[in-house]
Amino acid sequence: MDKTHPNLMASNVVVHLPEDPALTEIHESGKDGFLDVVQRHPESSLCWALLAEGCLRSDDLGSTVAAYAYARTGYHRGLDVLRRNGWKGSGQVPWAHEPNRGFLRALFALSQAAKRLGETDEAERCAQFLRDSSEEAFDVLTQD
């Protein structure tokens, strides 16, 4: 990844998304009720990120394709919420603010799924977008 290009996300804008109502329900419903939570909260990037992360635990092509689709959905849902909360295409989305993590996790999952599918440019763009949005998220999510 080229670290020498200008940070297009640099701005004074710092976005703190509102609480994700799915978060509490995910904890309360457990694994067996998770898909019901997704159905009730399709706007939740966290739900889609969790689905993508689950698929990325498998190495088969079908799981990778599903992860890509789930992550892309979470990414786009997250962009919608970011825009509704003052993000204008640039600025920080801090990992330290827990409601931001669904979007950041979806973005990371999208990068990983794209990489597995051989979409190198997409994988690198998403990884750079993650790093530009939150260096802390990049560091946490890229730890092995």
Provide the β-strand partners of residue 14: 92
Single pTM value for the model: 0.90
Contact 94, 132 (CB under 8 A): no
Domain locations in the chain as residue ranges: 21-141
What is the helix (H) or strand (E) element at residue 12, kind and residue range? none
**pLDDT tens, position by position, for the chain (144 residues)?**
444 444 444 567 899 999 999 999 999 998 999 999 999 999 999 999 999 999 999 999 999 999 999 999 999 999 999 999 989 898 999 999 999 999 999 999 999 999 999 999 999 999 999 999 999 999 999 996
Q: How many CB atoms lie within 10 A of CB 71?
A: 29
List the structure tokens of 47.
């739900």
Contact 52, 113 (CB under 8 A): yes
What is the SS3 assignment for 14? Answer: strand
Cα(116)–Cα(52) distance, rounded to whole angstroms? Answer: 13
Taking CA atoms, 31 is separated from 48, 92, 107, in Å, by 14, 32, 23
